[in-house]
Amino acid sequence: MKRETDYGYQIKSVYSPEDIEGFDYDKDLGNPGSFPYTRGYHAEGYRTRMWTQRMTAGLGSSVQANGVLKKYREMGQRGGMCVISDRVFSDCIDPDHPNARREAGVLGWPGCSLLEFEELMDGIPLTGQSITLLGSSAPTVLRLAYVVALARKRGIDPSEVHGSVMESPFENYFGQTDVQPFDLNLKLWLDASEYVVRNKIRMRSSVISQHFQESGGNNAQAIAVVLSMYKELCGKLVNERGLDFDDAAMVPYELVSIGSRFFEEIAKVRAMRRMWARMAKDHFKAKKEKSCQMLIAVHTSGRTMTYQQPLNNIARCAIQTLAGAIVGCTALDNATMDNAYAEPSALAARMSLNTQHIVAVETGVTDVVDPLAGSYFVEALTNQVEAEAYRILKEIDDLGGMIAAVEKGYIQTMLREEAAKKFREVDTRERLVVGVNHLVIAPEEDFEIPIQEVHEGDSEAIATRMETWKKTRDMPLVTARLRQLHADAGKGDRFNLMPAIVEAVEAYATAGEVIGVIRMARGLSYDPFKVIDCPYDFQLEAA
Amino acid sequence: MAKGNGLKVIVSMIGLDGHTTGGEVVSMLLRDAGFEVVYLGVNQTPQTIVDAAIQEDVDAIGISSHAANYSLIEELMDLVRANDLDDVIVVCGGNIPRKQIEQLTARGVAKVFTPGSASSDIVDYLANNTRRSNAAALPA
């Protein structure tokens, strides 16, 4: 059995002062709430701000997802809600697209119009909790437009809503794939980010290592990748959109994947905080302390949830949740015991949410900030993962930054090789997974976990509803708003499309329509799959 | 490693499924074992997969699936049959629940490899169960 970290550092049997030679408390750690923020941002830790305890929802129709959100609130979900998109919305086509009819509502929420968002949020407040909508990068502008539009409809100033509805264009390379081209996703991401800053909307964007790690990346790579993304995207907001760095730094947040190798996961997050603080100060010349504080939420690792003996995943989830609590996260959402099968059933969600509640109130972990600081082992691990991450970060820098590294295939190769290595380690039993390649026993006989299913008919129902509802809209208004959007989209990459997108969304233009006309204005086909044509005829008029 | 013996296998995602890690890892281990892999990647439809199977004259089709309603795999099975590709076996890999495995097998899927399957299981199965498995060494 391997006794090394996932990035290849050999772990010794015991750690002592010589393993952290030169350790300087003020320089390396600082008190909680002080630069370089290794120990977190709050002097009093969870005593002054408990982490947001939430679960991911989204499967089937919007009405069904709304029911799940309400159920989570009954189960004690506090501080925020989190909904993931289905593949159709993630690709920005509509459920009634021929390639989408069979997959609407699969693996997430089919949020392809403002109507779907209204149904999702029916009876659920937009304020007083963080609103997190996940999925892929392409629908970033749509998710933001939904929030703005629904806030206005409810008579709420959009600046009173907070959460995260945007997603970085890089996630496309980490297994969170959508069909839209990178340059389009990047342009729309910059539009959305600039819009929230200029309109003082407290919406964040995920710029995250979670997908990268869930696809197989190691801890040091994850830190290097997330910092490279921050560097590239904040740099663009400053240099191309004219924002102050201290405003740009309020856009991204990191969602970190926490697996079962307890101490290594804790070291990763501590190193990440310290490295961003230094980058913000040294590279970006941050003027505000807050800009040096990378907002970090935790997702306990879905890839570690095994198909075999799913009840074992409850134990894994608890260990990972404890690690996530120890690192001092802002929010935490859990993987669930049925994660290797489907989106969480009510039973699995309750189990995971209760795991958070148990960790929060029964273990004492919330009493003390960064309780492992000063451990020879944890400080040594923090230094090790930091050193390896700096090495990779430099390689990415030398290639010309994150975009260049992606264009050159460096990131994709790194991830592919690491995923293959992780598979081989389990295949050859260098790493043991109980129930998978170690202590393999027959499935539990007396208990089978419930598994959520979306059937073909469920997807078809979502598609049919979209098809018939589309015709009931105020079509002259939809057409006028889309025409304006199409015209704006021809005005160059720096012209911000958010105002026109919000207007189109308010007229109930759909995801496929909004992104489709933007695509056309950029010389692309209306439909990324080239199966359907644009139903509107203003393409030539606008020229 | 000669277990694959030049047998030709498609590895593909189906529909809008963008989870590529499993398919990429399996492609690698099949190539390492001497199979010829035609990796189709994402956004394939049942029709494009069958078209590729005919054009490339493959011995097996492998579908990597990460959570779906499986109707696209069922449609693929219908198309395989409609195109007289009965001697091309279809296997699936992914987090497919037991109930769906039974349904897919009933529709003609030869084998479903669930998460945690050993590489030797996948390699041996394909080496021993395709139309050309019993032939002597194939011409290069």
- Are residues A95 and A233 located together in one domain of the fold? yes
Tell me the residue range of the domain where A493 lies.
459-521
Buried b (16+ CB within 10 A) or exposed e, A423-437: bbbbbeeebebebbb
pLDDT tens per residue, range B27-81:
999 999 999 999 999 999 999 999 999 999 999 999 999 877 789 999 999 999 9
Of A136, A176, A308, the CB nearest to B116: A308
Structural domain of residue B32, as residue ranges? 8-129
Q: Specify the DSSP class assigned to residue B106.
A: H
Q: Which residues of B touch A (CB under 8 A)?
A: 15-21, 24-25, 28-29, 42-43, 45, 67-69, 71-72, 95, 97, 99, 114-116, 118-119
Chain B, nearest residue to A107 by Cα? B67
Closest CA in chain B for residue A211: B19
Interchain CB contact of A434 with B (< 8 Å)? no
Number of helices (H), then strands (E), in chain B? 5, 5
Instruction: Kindly state whether residues A50 and A162 are assigned to the same domain.
Output: yes
pLDDT of residue B66: 86
Dihedral angle, C-alpha A87, A91, A93, A98, nearest 10 ° = -60
Q: What's the rounded Cα separation, in Å, for the pair A482 and A473?
A: 13
CB contact under 8 A, B17 and A87: yes
Q: Which residues contact B51 (CB under 8 A, 6 or more apart)?
A: none
User: A425, A431, A443, A404: which is closest to A309 by C-alpha?
Assistant: A443
Residues whose CB falls within 8 Å of the CB of residue A75, separated by 6 or more in sequence, listed in order: A55, A349, A350, A353, A354
Find all residues with CB under 8 Å of A477, minimum gap 6, and list them.
Answer: A507
Q: What is the pLDDT of residue A75?
A: 84
Q: Do A354 and A485 share a domain, yes or no?
A: no
Q: Is residue B55 part of a domain?
A: yes
In A363-400, alpha helices (H) = 376-399
A85 closest CA partner among A64, A112, A63, A51: A112
| Count of structural domains within chain A | 2
Report the 10 Å Cβ neighbour count for A325. 21
Cα separations in angstroms, A463 against A90, A454, A468: 15, 13, 9
- Of the residues A56, A210, A438, A456, the best mutation for testing chain B's interface (the one with the most B CB atoms within 10 Å of its CB) is A456
Question: Are A506 and A402 part of one and the same domain?
Answer: no
Q: Is residue B106 part of a domain?
A: yes
A420 touching chain B per CB within 8 A: yes
Q: State the residue for tokens 């659920």.
A: A124
pTM of the model: 0.95
Q: Does residue A99 belong to the interface with chain B, where contact is any CB pair within 8 Å?
A: yes
- Quick check: is B48 in a domain? yes
Pairwise CA distance, residues A453 & A225, whole Å: 34
Burial pattern A129-146, b for ≥16 Cβ within 10 A else e, equals bbbbbbbbbbbbbbbbbb
Low-confidence ranges of chain A (pLDDT < 50): 540, 542-543
- CATH classification at residue B18: 3.40.50.280
For residue A122, the domain's CATH number is: 3.20.20.240
Would residue A127 count as lying in a domain? yes
DSSP 8-state code for residue A127:
S
pLDDT in tens, B65-121: 987 778 999 999 999 999 999 999 999 999 999 889 999 999 999 999 999 999 999
Give a yes or no: residue A191 inside a domain: yes
Of the candidates B15, B21, B97, the beta carbon closest to that of A103 is on B15
- DSSP-derived 3-state class of residue A156: coil
A412 and A507 share one domain: no
Average pLDDT for chain B: 91
Q: Is the dihedral of CA A359, A363, A366, A368 positive or negative?
A: negative
Per-residue pLDDT reduced to its tens digit, A79-119: 899 999 999 999 999 999 999 999 999 889 999 999 999 99
pLDDT score of B140? 43
Could you give phi then psi for residue B5, rounded to 5 degrees? Answer: 55, 30
Q: Chain A residues with CB inside 8 Å of B97's CB?
A: 341-342, 451, 453
Q: Does ipTM top 0.85?
A: yes
